[in-house]
């Protein structure tokens, strides 16, 4: 039974009991409807609905969204609650989200615990509220507030919900409080449906649409939500609900909703597997080697999670730089209201920067974030081995280097693991956990435990140049540079990718990270690069000219006075010049052709990564692409997107391109076999490191 009922005097108590989040699936819907009939039959004075386990309800069960809807439908169940002559009270602990919040809207009264949250995150799943949210909410909190809640999907805390009139009361014990509500007062509460409709506000709606255009370009659900809310203002509730239902059902089976569900469940699946039974080391004190941008960002993330952090540096200048870097993140977070004064003081107290390795003698984890040189890393690991306890885990934040070689610099390589953070490390959600040949289960469990503490998305990857993310990035940039050489400008390429859904294109992004990093990497790869592979020299010329990106005021774009970026005709000329030297007749690529080439290059490489077992699954690659590299979430990640095109179509396109360059566009064997066997990439299990 996922819904239980009991009678206490004249009061009915209905409890949702569908762990872990009381998702509203078929049995909950049926149970609720029966509860309505039961309460009426028992002629109760009121009904209190709540959720077991300190959780009201996380919304409709999204696992049901892939099949046809089954009766009783949630809107009908909620209409029954709304129209019942017995008033229902929602006593909300934990979260009331989506359909959960809609249950609360159908109740006469809503009482929330101070720490509870209420919201409508449906747009994050590519749908809109489909059980009255778009129709009942505006009656309660007005048009602008409703549009804001529904189009952003951001939940509100109890106090905020009270202030805007969404709920009636905040109480530490909402269930007890619901029992105590004065019957007369309860009878005086006007149900949402009977309140006057919200007034239309054309200006606010135009502003909301503009905001969405800037923030959620390409996404259908938020705009559709505004449309449905607006339509409902002029209609009786039943008609508004019918329009809402139709829009919800259409969106539920859309490609975007499918893609977002894929991402939602992939994110939830990213956690330590049950088969990993080893215990992580206890995490209290962590040593970080290097206090540059990456090291200090990692340090702040760890401080924020309550850990003690010591940054190790080479000399006093390094110590000063580390102190300044960490302090500037603490102050910026304080200024933005992300932490309060007390937290800032605590962070400072738990942080030290030093040259003295003896100060980390009780650290159980070390994260090396030093210069990307094998020689440096080997020296650092040898020093860490001497300084930390023998069972401490030693990790490297290397983006490209061979973790197995790094591990060979210590006596026990099973202690070594890669923890690849993404800049800014205190903000970016992704953590690539690199499993070396000898990495122990304890080290792996520690990587997962750290990700959990930091609330990051862990993705375990195998050892190769660039692991999953940077290996795909290298192909993305290679495809972009080839197009740049052969016909386009950086801004045309960037615009094509922004139109696809990236927040910025590859050149604007590289200006942010700095052109020198990729340059150093290319030099490292010089000796192993396939001589048959075409090499595009434009980025090297940029570095020779000192155009390293934003930090030098110019990169692929110019940044006059540190302000916004402007196109730089010198860069376009440079590409034309290099093409001329190479005897290339430049062509005009359309935005579609640009997008196709960049995306195919990434998909092809990702398929190899999966085939080689560098990633365990296609959805892990999707997490990396979305959480680490800005691939649009609503496209379902790189592999989810590839599956929406289909392997045989992808192979056909790659074969066409291979006529231009057989080395670069060599079709991945995995794509070939998916095309032949009609398989989805998302159904393929990674081989290599991850094969059973
Ligand atoms: C909707 O409501 C439509 C209606 O308007 C109209 C209907 C007609 N469905 O996140 P966690 C699972 S659309 C199915 O790790 P946390 C999740 O997969 C819905 N399963 O925990 C995981 O399973 P597993 C609108 C769900 O404590 C487990 O629960 N609602 C759902 O970090 C634990 O989840 C939303 O978009 C679901 N709706 O966070 C809310 N939700 O253990 C989505 C969770 O097998 N949910 N699961 O991996 C959330 O935001 C978070 O899960 C929540 C808990 C904050 C509730």
257-283 pLDDT, tens per residue?
A: 999 999 999 999 999 999 999 999 999
Q: Residue 335 in 3-state DSSP? A: helix
Going by pLDDT thresholds of 50, 70 and 90, the confidence category of residue 548 is very high
Atom of ligand 1 nearest to the CA of 73: 8
Q: What distance in Å separates the CA atoms of residue 509 and residue 468, rounded to the nearest whole number?
A: 18
For the beta carbon of residue 542, count every other beta carbon within 10 angstroms: 22
Instruction: Determine whether the shortest distance from the Cβ of 244 to ligand 1 is under 6 A.
Output: no
For range 603-631, the mean pLDDT:
97
Q: How far apart are CA 410 and CA 216, in angstroms?
A: 48
pTM over 0.85: yes
Contact 3, 15 (CB under 8 A): yes
Find out whether the beta carbon of 12 lies less than 6 Å from any atom of ligand 1: no
Ligand 1 center–CA 124 separation, angstroms: 11
What 3-state class would DSSP assign to 381? helix
The pair of structure tokens assigned to 88 is 């229902």
The residue with tokens 């139709």 is: 246
| Per-residue pLDDT at 691 | 53
> What length does the chain have?
692
May I ask the CATH architecture of the domain 469-690? Orthogonal Bundle (1.10)
CB atoms closer than 10 angstroms to residue 206: 10
131 lines ligand 1 (CB under 6 A): yes
The ligand 1 atom at the shortest distance from the C-alpha of residue 63 is: 14
The preferred substitution site among 25, 53, 59, 246 for testing ligand 1, maximizing ligand atoms within 8 Å of CB, is 59
Do you find a cis peptide bond into 580, omega within 30 degrees of 0? Answer: no
- Which stretches does DSSP call E strand in 283-413? 285-289, 308-312, 351-354, 365-368, 393-396
| Cβ of residue 473 lying under 6 Å from some atom of ligand 1 | no
Average pLDDT, the chain: 96
Please report the atom of ligand 1 found closest to the CA of residue 128.
Answer: 5
Please write the tens of the pLDDT for every residue from 385-432: 999 999 999 999 999 999 999 999 999 999 999 999 999 999 999 999
Indicate whether 315 pLDDT > 80. Answer: yes
Query: What is residue 517's predicted lDDT score, i.e. its pLDDT?
Result: 87
Return the axis-axis angle of helices 293-304 and 341-349, rounded to nearest 10°. 120
Task: Indicate which atom in ligand 1 lies nearest the CA of residue 117.
Answer: 55
Regarding the beta carbon of 21 and ligand 1, being less than 6 Å apart is answered yes
Mean pLDDT over 674-682 rounds to: 93
Ligand 1, atom 17: nearest CA belongs to which residue? 268
Which runs of consecutive H residues, i.e. helices, occur in 612-668?
618-629, 637-645, 647-658
Per-residue pLDDT band at 692 (split at 50, 70, 90): very low
Q: What does the DSSP assignment read for 264-298?
A: HHHHHH-S--TT--PPPPP-SEEEEE--SHHHHHH
Closest-CA residue to 50 (of 185, 181, 177): 177
Those residues whose C-beta lies under 8 Å from the C-beta of residue 397, and which sit 6 or more positions away, are 294, 295, 298, 367, 368, 369, 418, 419, 420, 421
pLDDT on residue 467: 95
Cβ 251 under 6 angstroms from ligand 1:
no
Which of 18, 19, 22, 62 most suits a substitution to test ligand 1, by most atoms within 8 Å of the C-beta?
Answer: 62
Q: For ligand 1, say whether the CB of 58 is within 6 Å of any of its atoms.
A: yes
Report how far residue 111's alpha carbon sits from residue 375's, in angstroms, rounded to the nearest whole number: 62
Any ligand 1 atom below 6 A from CB of 107: no
d(CA 369, CA 365) in angstroms, rounded, equals: 13
pLDDT per residue over 476-508, tens digit each?
A: 999 999 999 999 999 999 999 999 999 999 999
Q: In the structure, what pLDDT confidence band is assigned to residue 247 with cuts at 50, 70 and 90?
A: very high
Mean pLDDT lowest among 217-226, 372-381, 558-567: 558-567
CA trace torsion 102, 105, 108, 113 (10° rounding): 90
Residue 291 Cβ contacting ligand 1 at under 6 Å: no
Contact between residue 144 and residue 201 where contact means Cβ atoms under 8 Å apart: yes
What percent of the chain is modeled with pLDDT above 90? 95
Smallest Cα–Cα separation from 682: which of 275, 259, 66?
259
For the chain, percent of residues with pLDDT exceeding 70: 99
d(CA 586, CA 172): 69
> In ligand 1, which atom is closest to the CA atom of 121?
36
Å from CA of 62 to ligand 1 middle: 7
**Ligand 1 neighbour 449 (Cβ under 6 A):** no
Residue 69 CA, closest ligand 1 atom number = 8
pLDDT score for 688: 55
Task: Let me know if 80 is exposed, middle or buried by CB neighbors in 10 A (0-12, 13-18, 19+).
Answer: middle
Q: Whose CA is nearest to atom 43 of ligand 1?
A: 58
Does any ligand 1 atom lie closer than 6 A to the CB of residue 60?
yes
Domain definitions of the chain by residue range: 3-253, 285-461, 469-690
Q: Tell me the pLDDT tens digit for each residue of 441-462.
A: 999 999 999 999 999 999 999 9
CATH fold, domain 3-253, is 2-enoyl-CoA Hydratase; Chain A, domain 1 (3.90.226)
- Judging by beta carbons within 10 Å of its beta carbon (0-12, 13-18, 19+), is residue 69 exposed, middle or buried? middle
Q: Is the CB of 455 under 6 A from ligand 1?
A: no
Distance of CA 585 to the CA centre of its chain: 42
Q: Could you tell me which residues are beta bridge partners of residue 432?
A: 420, 459
**Upstream peptide bond of 508 is cis (omega within 30 degrees of 0):** no
The residue contributing the CA closest to ligand 1 atom 8 is 130
Minimal-distance CA residue to ligand 1 atom 53: 58
How far, in Å, is the centroid of ligand 1 from the Cα of 75?
A: 19
Residue ranges of alpha helices (H) inside 561-590 are 569-581
CATH topology for the 285-461 domain: Rossmann fold (3.40.50)
Angstrom distance (rounded) from CA 655 to CA 662: 9
Nearest-angstrom CA–CA distance, 121 and 128: 8
Residue with tokens 């937290």: 343
Q: Is 137 touching ligand 1 by the criterion CB < 6 Å?
A: no
């Amino acid at each position: 039974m996922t819904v239980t009922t009991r009678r206490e005097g004249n009061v009915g108590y209905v409890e949702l009991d569908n762990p872990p989040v009381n998702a509203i699936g078929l049995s909950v819907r049926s149970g609720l409807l029966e509860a309505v009939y039961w309460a009426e039959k028992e002629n109760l004075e009121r009904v209190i609905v709540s959720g077991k386990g300190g959780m009201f309800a996380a919304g409709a069960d999204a696992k049901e969204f892939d099949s046809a809807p089954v009766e009783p439908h949630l809107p009908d169940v909620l209409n029954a609650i709304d129209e019942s002559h017995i008033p229902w009270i929602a006593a909300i602990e934990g979260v009331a989200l989506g359909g959960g919040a809609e249950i609360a809207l159908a109740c006469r009264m809503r009482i929330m615990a101070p720490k509870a949250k209420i919201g409508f995150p449906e747009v994050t799943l590519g749908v809109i509220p489909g059980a009255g949210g778009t129709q009942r909410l505006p009656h309660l909190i007005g048009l602008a507030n409703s549009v804001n809640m529904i189009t952003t999907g951001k939940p509100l805390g109890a106090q905020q919900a009270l202030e805007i009139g969404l709920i009636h009361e905040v109480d530490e014990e909402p269930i007890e409080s619901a029992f105590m509500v004065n019957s007369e007062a309860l009878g005086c509460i006007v149900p949402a449906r009977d309140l006057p409709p919200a007034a239309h506000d054309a200006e606010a709606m135009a502003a909301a649409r503009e905001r969405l255009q800037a923030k959620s370009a390409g996404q259908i659900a938020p705009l559709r939500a505004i449309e449905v809310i607006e339509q409902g203002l002029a209609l009786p509730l039943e008609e508004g609900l019918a329009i809402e239902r139709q829009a919800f059902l259409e969106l539920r089976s859309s490609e975007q909703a499918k893609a977002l569900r894929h991402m939602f469940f992939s994110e939830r699946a990213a956690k330590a597997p049950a088969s990993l039974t080893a215990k992580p080391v206890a995490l209290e004190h962590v040593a970080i080697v290097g206090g540059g941008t990456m090291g200090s960002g990692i340090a702040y993330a760890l401080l924020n999670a309550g850990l003690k952090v010591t940054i190790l540096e080479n000399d006093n200048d390094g110590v000063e730089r580390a102190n300044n870097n960490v302090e500037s993140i603490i102050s910026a977070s304080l200024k933005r209201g992300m932490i309060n004064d007390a937290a800032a003081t605590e962070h400072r107290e738990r942080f030290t920067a030093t040259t003295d390795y003896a100060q980390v003698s009780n650290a159980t984890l070390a994260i090396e974030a030093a210069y990307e040189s094998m020689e440096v890393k080997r020296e650092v690991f040898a020093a860490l081995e001497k300084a930390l306890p023998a069972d401490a885990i030693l990790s490297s934040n290397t983006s490209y280097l061979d973790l197995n070689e790094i591990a060979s610099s210590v006596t026990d390589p099973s202690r070594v693991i890669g923890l690849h953070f993404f800049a800014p490390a205190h903000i970016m959600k992704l953590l690539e956990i690199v499993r070396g040949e000898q990495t122990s289960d304890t080290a792996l469990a520690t990587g997962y435990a750290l990700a959990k503490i930091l609330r990051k998305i862990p993705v375990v990857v195998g050892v190769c140049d660039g692991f999953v993310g940077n290996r795909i990035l290298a192909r993305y940039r290679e495809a972009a540079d080839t197009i740049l050489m052969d016909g386009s400008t950086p801004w045309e390429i960037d615009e094509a990718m922004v139109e696809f859904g990236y927040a910025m294109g590859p050149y604007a992004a590289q200006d942010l990270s700095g052109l020198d990093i990729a340059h150093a990497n290319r030099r490292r790869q010089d000796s192993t690069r396939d001589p048959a592979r075409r090499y595009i020299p434009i980025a090297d010329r940029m570095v020779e000219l000192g155009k390293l990106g934003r930090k030098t005021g110019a990169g692929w774009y110019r940044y006059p006075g540190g302000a916004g970026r402007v196109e730089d005709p010198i860069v376009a000329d440079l590409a034309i010049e290099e093409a001329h030297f190479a005897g290339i007749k430049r062509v005009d690529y359309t935005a579609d052709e640009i997008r196709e080439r960049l995306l195919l290059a990434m998909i092809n490489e990702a398929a190899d990564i999966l085939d080689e077992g560098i990633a365990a699954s296609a959805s892990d690659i999707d997490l990396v692409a979305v959480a680490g590299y800005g691939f649009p979430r609503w496209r379902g990640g790189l592999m989810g997107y590839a599956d929406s095109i289909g392997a045989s179509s992808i192979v056909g396109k790659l074969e066409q391109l291979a006529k231009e360059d057989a080395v670069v566009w060599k079709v991945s064997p995995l794509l070939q076999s998916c095309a032949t066997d009609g398989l989805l990439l998302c159904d393929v299990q990674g081989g290599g490191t991850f094969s059973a």
